[in-house]
A and B are shown apart, each in its own frame.
Chain A
Amino acid sequence: MTVFGIRLPGMSSLILWALLWEVVGHAGLTFFIPPLSEVFTTLFNVIGTPVFLKALSETGYAFAGGVLAAIVIGIPVGILMGKNRLIDEMLLPWVNIFLSAPLTALVPVLMVLFGFGMTSIIITTGLFAIWIIILNARAGVMQINRSMIEMARSFGATPLEAFFKIYFWAALPEILGGVRIGVIRAVKGVIIGQLLISIVGFGALFELYSSNFLMSHFWAVLIVLFALAFSISEFLAYLERRVAYYAAKR
């Protein structure tokens, strides 16, 4: 964007919002918004403490487990749905229901089934991420050109070769897009899991800080969480750009 002929770097608007936050914080309008500088001071004080590192590792573990499960199960299921009409007819209604369902309401059921521990949190995280990953992998496979499939057959590709040398790569742009959105949803899932199932990780910190009105602590953790989610999402967007050169030309 350019303002008065000066080219501004990306996300310059954040500076404006940070300034506004600082002003509102100093005006003391509400305890809910401490000055941003105070939040960052708290952030640097908190970030090395054992409590914070423990929360980070608990959340990271549940998040990684859930996302990994969603990817490992979601991509093959999506590809199978895209390839096989019968499997698609069987599973598509469920995928659509769960994609739009308020998954938070399912969490109590998961607690009954899987207990109050890490397992339930990982499953919650996975459930938030998996549906969009399935749908995108499916869409990616379904848009593969018919002639590409005929090409594989006419040159004698075995089904396994066709899968690894053609279908996977041809669907990769959509798959990566699905994983990126899935990861963002998994961030929601892991925090909801840690708030509702067992109070551990960042969920526990949110609970602790907000119930004790430690707002600058609260915001500090939220900023860390946002930064982590943003980095992962940007990394996946970078991977998407790596395959963009052929995404539009399939």
Chain B
Amino acid sequence: MAPQSAVSVRNVSKKYNDVEALRDLSLEFPRGQLTSLLGPSGCGKTTLLKIIAGLIPANSGEVEVNGIRVEGPGPDRAFVFQDFALLPWANVMRNVGFGLELRGIAKSEREAIAEKYISNVGLAGFERSFPHELSGGMRQRVGLARALAVDAQVLLLDEPFSAVDEQNRRKFQEDMLTLVQEERKTFIFVTHSIEEAVYVSDQIAVLLPRPSRVSEVIRPTSFRNKDAANIRRDPEYLDIVDRIWASLRNYVE
């Protein structure tokens, strides 16, 4: 039987020269759920995400994905980038299928898969558009579709909505909730927005800086199954937002 956690981070430390980015950090990411890494800037949340992705090595400690130790990037994880990282010379179809293209999947097959995910993220009809013809929100939908298309069990999202305007972000957050339920994948979501983290997460890991550590893990209970429109009025939602702000405010200059 597969372990309860899709991703386990154990005693991970990371130094950049003399700066300690992460110290002895341990965290479990439950399978099929969305976990947010929330914290002020400089708390090492993106560093942690990239260590899980295998893009940068940890100095000590280990990361396991489905019980297998992470040594580098792998097909069990897919990354969504803050600045989208789309190929500007390729249309939406090729961008979404690019992960599959790198895995050597035949063109007709990968276009069929890409087409499905393009419509899943709400971009049907834009298959032949180029990134520069799309808005920031739509570009990030392309980035998300590309990550979904390779069918990795774990999706790593690095502040995916920070370059997206407020109204698109809200729509995107609502769509995320549906997507997490439909895809049954493990989402790890880095954000600096408290409201965003509480709104979309099954579990919120609050990280504090200097040295970086997990200060608390919060699991909202009452509003997760509610209608997306009502979450922001739920008392527990508001309480958690206040509580996180109370613990973070000392670290914001």
Contacts and interface: CB of A to CB of B under 8 A. Distances in A.
Interface of A: 145, 147-148, 150-157, 161, 165-166, 169, 172, 243, 245-246, 249-250
Contacts of B74: 156
18 contacts: A147-B81, A147-B82, A148-B85, A150-B50, A150-B81, A151-B81, A154-B77, A155-B73, A155-B98, A156-B74, A156-B103, A161-B102, A169-B89, A243-B89, A245-B88, A246-B131, A246-B132, A250-B88
Please list the 9 inter-chain residue pairs (A to B) with the smallest Cβ-Cβ separation, ordered nearest first: A246-B88, A151-B85, A147-B85, A154-B79, A155-B99, A249-B132, A154-B73, A147-B81, A246-B89
Contact of B88 (A151, A155, A157, A249): A249
Given A154-B77, A155-B150, A156-B74, 9 more contacts: A150-B85, A154-B78, A155-B98, A155-B146, A156-B73, A157-B102, A165-B101, A245-B88, A249-B88
A172 B88 CA distance: 12
Contacts of A156: 73-75, 99, 102-103
A38 to B, nearest CB: 50
Given A151-B81, A154-B55, A245 B132 contact: yes
Contact of A150 (B77, B79, B89, B103): B79
A155 B83 CA distance: 16
A119 to B, nearest CB: 38
B179 interface: no
A161 B87 CA distance: 14
Contacts of B197: none
B53 interface: yes
A172 B82 CA distance: 24
Nearest to A149: B85
Contacts of A246: 88-89, 130-132
Nearest to B150: A155
Given A166-B87, A245-B132, A249-B132, A155 B82 contact: no
A153 B130 contact: no
Contacts of A165: 101-102
Interface in B31-75: 50, 53-55, 73-75
B173 to A, nearest CB: 22
Contacts of A150: 50, 55, 79, 81, 85
Nearest to B81: A147
Nearest to A153: B73
Contacts of B146: 155
